[in-house]
Amino acid sequence: MNQEIENAIQDEYPDDFSHCYGCGRLNIKGHQFRTGWDGAQTITVYMPRPEHTAIPGYVYGGLIASLIDCHGTGSASLALHRKNGNEPGDGAEPPRFVTASLEVKFVKPTPQDVPLKAFGKVEEIHPKKFKIHTEVYAGEICCAKGEVVAALMPDTFGK
Amino acid sequence: MNQEIENAIQDEYPDDFSHCYGCGRLNIKGHQFRTGWDGAQTITVYMPRPEHTAIPGYVYGGLIASLIDCHGTGSASLALHRKNGNEPGDGAEPPRFVTASLEVKFVKPTPQDVPLKAFGKVEEIHPKKFKIHTEVYAGEICCAKGEVVAALMPDTFGK
């Protein structure tokens, strides 16, 4: 676990929903992104692997898009969980979200060998839909900005 | 090589630019996406690995975003290469592009165990900038739609 989040929402998902390549704690080949609160913002921290290059020395954009994606659904889950009176770590099962849409603007080349930090602001746009505004930093540099629309996972999803 | 493209633009990139986690032929841990012409469209075919799950049985959105991303830059390279009078396989070095922005709309859950096919239409929006409109199919199902703005890689990139 290369991430500094104490209480991550993904730690609370039921096992059946913990196989996501991006943020599933049971997907041992995946990124295992973990998302928690950082004051009024949400945060996900990830150290890219050596193979996650665009060109040598710079991080692959698809990895950044993946980070923004799972950070978005995790942030939506954190926000609705809090609205429902819960916090990760209290034992209540959090709601899960799916990504409806994802937008990424690549602002600057992202240096490798630095942990990436995604910071999110969550906006409720519907009782079952949240928009997450994310900025990804490598050190002091804002390298990418993203928007995710996350929708509450339908009970029928995957059935 | 699990992809059915005969002449892929990525096969022609110089070695220094072939380490991309998405589409670098020299990145043995990466996806090694390959993009070619299919009539007036561009195409990239990829079989997700078993670990590329969102929930079991369905493909991870970040993988789809990665596919759309590299399919976009590869398509822009194909288009400018053709405009310059060249085709992949003729030995000429193609131009390389970076992603300025990426948008993905997830239309339907994407079933696993089916090769994904990304089809692209390339629109020139500036002599050095192309917009690629992409649809990703799993069999007959259009699962995602994407737009990439790809910009010609500056000579200084990564220096």
What is the set of domains in chain B, with CATH numbers? 9-152 (3.10.129.10)
- Rounded to whole angstroms, the Cα distance separating A152 from A157 reads 10
Which residue does chain A place closest to B73, by CA atoms?
Answer: A61
Average pLDDT taken over every residue of chain A: 95
Q: Please report the pLDDT score of residue B1 as a whole number.
A: 42
* DSSP strand pairing (B35-38 vs B97-106): unpaired
Which residues does chain B have within 8 Å of residue A58's beta carbon, measured at their own beta carbons?
Answer: 158
Which one, of A92, A65, A128, lies nearest residue A11 by Cα?
A92
Minimum mean pLDDT range among A4-8, A16-20, A31-35, B30-34 = A4-8
Length of chain A as a residue count? 159
Question: In the numeric block, which tokens belong to residue A144?
Answer: 């990418």
Which residue does chain B place closest to A56, by CA atoms?
Answer: B19
Which residue does chain B place closest to A110, by CA atoms?
Answer: B158
Residues paired with residue A106 on neighbouring β-strands, in sequence order: A144
Counting one residue from A and one from B, how many pairs have CB atoms under 8 Å apart? 122
Mutation to test the B interface, candidates A15, A25, A44, A55, most B Cβ within 10 Å:
A55
Q: Please report the pLDDT score of residue B141 as a whole number.
A: 96
* DSSP strand pairing (B97-106 vs B129-138): unpaired
Question: Which of A156 and A133 is assigned the larger pLDDT?
Answer: A133
- The torsion angle over the Cα atoms of residues B5, B113, B104 and B143, rounded to 10 degrees, is 100
Contact between A128 and A76 (Cβ < 8 Å): no
* DSSP strand pairing (A35-38 vs A41-46): antiparallel
Which residues does chain B have within 8 Å of residue A65's beta carbon, measured at their own beta carbons?
Answer: 62, 65-66, 69, 102, 104
Q: Please report the pLDDT score of residue A138 as a whole number.
A: 98
- Considering only the beta carbons, identify the residue of B20, B104, B157 that sits closest to A102: B104
Give me the residues of chain B with pLDDT under 70, please. Answer: 1-3, 158-159
Confidence band for A20, pLDDT divided at 50, 70 and 90: very high
Is B65 within 8 Å of A69 when comparing Cβ atoms?
A: yes
Residues of B near A (Cβ–Cβ under 8 Å) read 16-17, 19-22, 24, 27, 29-30, 51-58, 60-63, 65-66, 69-70, 98-106, 109, 157-158
- Considering only the beta carbons, identify the residue of A20, A52, A60 that sits closest to B54: A20
Confidence band for A159, pLDDT divided at 50, 70 and 90: low
For residue A14, pLDDT over 70 is answered with yes
Burial of A12 (0-12, 13-18, 19+ CB in 10 A): buried
Contact between B63 and B52 (Cβ < 8 Å): yes
> Rounded to two decimals, what is the model's pTM?
0.96
CA distance A38 to chain B (A): 24
Q: Please report the pLDDT score of residue B154 as a whole number.
A: 85
In the block, which residue shows the tokens 């692959």?
A60
- Rounded to whole angstroms, the Cα distance separating B136 from A124 reads 29
For residue A150, pLDDT over 90 is answered with yes
Confidence band for A132, pLDDT divided at 50, 70 and 90: very high
Contact between B90 and B81 (Cβ < 8 Å): no
Q: Please report the pLDDT score of residue B106 as a whole number.
A: 98
Q: Please report the pLDDT score of residue A157 as a whole number.
A: 72
Question: In the numeric block, which tokens belong to residue B72?
Answer: 């976009």
Which residues does chain B have within 8 Å of residue A17's beta carbon, measured at their own beta carbons?
Answer: 55
Question: Which of A149 and B3 is assigned the larger pLDDT?
Answer: A149
Burial of A111 (0-12, 13-18, 19+ CB in 10 A): middle
- Considering only the beta carbons, identify the residue of A16, A66, A103 that sits closest to B62: A66
Q: Please report the pLDDT score of residue A134 as a whole number.
A: 98
Which residue does chain B place closest to A101, by CA atoms?
Answer: B105
Which residues does chain B have within 8 Å of residue A106's beta carbon, measured at their own beta carbons?
Answer: 98-102
Q: Please report the pLDDT score of residue A2 as a whole number.
A: 41
3 state SS of B5 = coil
Burial of B106 (0-12, 13-18, 19+ CB in 10 A): buried
Question: In the numeric block, which tokens belong to residue B64?
Answer: 């789809």
For residue A154, pLDDT over 90 is answered with no
3 state SS of B120 = strand
Contact between B77 and B7 (Cβ < 8 Å): no
